[in-house]
Amino acid sequence: MSELLISLLATLVGVLLDRIATWQKARRSDANRLDLARLQRRLEVDRINRAIDKDIADEGSLDALIDRL
């Protein structure tokens, strides 16, 4: 009887450890997805800023660009 109980307990602990590992992987995956989204937004902001800087340089000044718009 005790061998059966020990086997059952070992199985339960194994399943629990597997669930914890799966949960941690999911959390890391979610964090990586959020980091990627932040990076993509930052790259988009940088692209827009470069485009604005180029437009300002093409017009000669920010005031000239504003007047043109």
pTM above the 0.85 mark? Answer: no
Residue 69 parent element (H or E): none
Q: Give the separation between CA 14 and CA 6, rounded to whole angstroms.
A: 12
Distance CA 3, CA 12 (A): 14
Per-residue pLDDT band for 4 (boundaries 50, 70, 90) equals confident
Query: Could you report the per-residue pLDDT of 18-54, keeping only the tens digit for each?
Result: 999 999 999 999 999 999 999 999 999 999 999 988 8
pLDDT above 80 for 63: yes
Into how many domains does the chain fold? 1
Domain limits for position 58: 2-68
Q: What is d(CA 14, CA 58) in angstroms, rounded to the nearest whole number?
A: 66
